[in-house]
A and B are shown apart, each in its own frame.
Chain A
């Protein structure tokens, strides 16, 4: 079975209040994207990686891959205007792969073991998810609805899908102009009868979005990640 991977690296640094896109910021002394790639490098099952990046950062990405001597079949392509468009572009570049893993450049703490566990799981489609430890209500200006948190899941990445079906789902969404915030919702919309397994995620699998996330991640990296092999 051939496995490909899409890495979404479309950040431009807006929410981090930085000129440097967050995937290039240093965490524990090295760029966040390098943490991700070094873990993927150890996963032999992944045959090809497509990094979707803004055009102006493609050369920088290639240089980092060279500098850090990352030994993996990686191509860097220009992403789209939205996250969904970027994933679609990535998936198109992996046409023919039986299974596609979708991941983000700003989730540096997913270990090689977690990638392998997802890839080698017997489930065709799977995501990592964790329970929601706080109450979630629906509403904007006023509360409109109670939600049962034990029925909700905090969706994480990476996610794994049947390659052919993920491509078809994206094609349909593109034609219909439908927008989803991530790929499990998109896939489920078009294939409601195909099971998507929720694998137990990790509290360390933080998506670095704000400056506070980066501060937390520095501490987590020092205390829990270095030396984890």
Chain B
């Protein structure tokens, strides 16, 4: 049985993916990582009870602590086979209004913590047909005035995913990157508060695509920026 770690599992695409993945026969253990323990418990309650679920409250800006939580998960489940990096943060501001603090926090949560998470997991994944899926955004490859920190942090996610797909190929680790377009998440509400969430793509739609990519049979779509957008 496989072990899966999901960051950003307390809401949005992370939560929907946790629920979707818990229904899969090949997944026995799921570790849910996010800041808010109460929300993680809510996610757990929505999941298929056949899975062993470990709730791991962690603030992804605490980079030093990431290795410790990965070690803890590995000790509990004895393997790490799948990693979904979904933790995200956004605080849109115009360039002249933004602060170093905002820029740093946006990059830390969206990009740097992802890199640290991958580094910690790869030590356990080497040579074991593992898969990593990073959630970027269409904002990472198109111009978004007013979202400079978020858009450039997501561009970093796309780039690191492509690079690591090549670098980790020899370890039999596949690295995927999806870039959802408009999706009815809490994060989207910050970016587009006036939008009617019922008219756009739902987190469950993205979760199904993530699950398909993390099937063993999927063998061709790693190392590319996969746009997930409802027309």
Q: Is the CB of A28 within 8 A of B167?
A: yes
Question: Which residues of chain A are near B35, meaning CB under 8 Å?
Answer: none
Per-position 1/0 for B144-184, Cβ under 8 A of A: 00000000000000000001001101101000000000000
Which among B126, B163, B167, B169 is the interface contact of A227 at CB below 8 angstroms?
Answer: B169
Shortest distance in angstroms between B177's beta carbon and chain A's nearest beta carbon? 17
Q: Is the CB of B166 within 8 A of A69?
A: no
Shortest distance in angstroms between A223's beta carbon and chain B's nearest beta carbon? 12
Which residue of chain A is the closest to B171 with respect to CB atoms? A38
- In the complex, B123 has a CB within 8 A of chain A: yes
Shortest distance in angstroms between B175's beta carbon and chain A's nearest beta carbon? 12
Q: Is the CB of A69 within 8 A of B167?
A: no
Please report the C-alpha to C-alpha distance between residue A229 and residue B126 in the assembled complex, in whole angstroms: 13
Q: Is the CB of B123 within 8 A of A226?
A: no
Question: Which residues of chain B are near A68, meaning CB under 8 Å?
Answer: 123
Chain A: residues with Cβ within 8 Å of the partner, total of 10
- In the complex, A97 has a CB within 8 A of chain B: no
Question: Which residues of chain A are near B126, meaning CB under 8 Å?
Answer: 38, 69
Q: Is the CB of B166 within 8 A of A29?
A: yes
- In the complex, A130 has a CB within 8 A of chain B: no
Question: Which residues of chain B are near A69, meaning CB under 8 Å?
Answer: 123-124, 126
Shortest distance in angstroms between B12's beta carbon and chain A's nearest beta carbon? 32
Per-position 1/0 for A198-225, Cβ under 8 A of B: 0000000000000000000000000001
Please report the C-alpha to C-alpha distance between residue A227 and residue B170 in the assembled complex, in whole angstroms: 6
Which residue of chain A is the closest to B172 with respect to CB atoms? A229
Which residue of chain A is the closest to B170 with respect to CB atoms? A226
The B79-129 residues at the A interface (CB cut-off 8 A) are 123-124, 126
Q: Is the CB of B169 within 8 A of A30?
A: no
Shortest distance in angstroms between B125's beta carbon and chain A's nearest beta carbon? 10
The A122-177 residues at the B interface (CB cut-off 8 A) are none
Question: Which residues of chain B are near A227, meaning CB under 8 Å?
Answer: 169-170
Shortest distance in angstroms between B168's beta carbon and chain A's nearest beta carbon? 8
Please report the C-alpha to C-alpha distance between residue A30 and residue B163 in the assembled complex, in whole angstroms: 12
Please report the C-alpha to C-alpha distance between residue A30 and residue B126 in the assembled complex, in whole angstroms: 13
Per-position 1/0 for A64-86, Cβ under 8 A of B: 00001100000000000000000
Other A-B contacts than A29-B163, A227-B169, A227-B170, 8 sampled, CB-CB below 8 A, are A28-B167, A28-B170, A30-B167, A38-B126, A69-B123, A69-B124, A226-B170, A229-B172
Q: 11 A-B Cβ contacts within 8 A?
A: A28-B166, A28-B167, A28-B170, A69-B123, A69-B124, A69-B126, A225-B170, A226-B169, A226-B170, A227-B169, A229-B172
Which positions in A face B, CB cutoff 8 Å?
A: 28-30, 38, 68-69, 225-227, 229
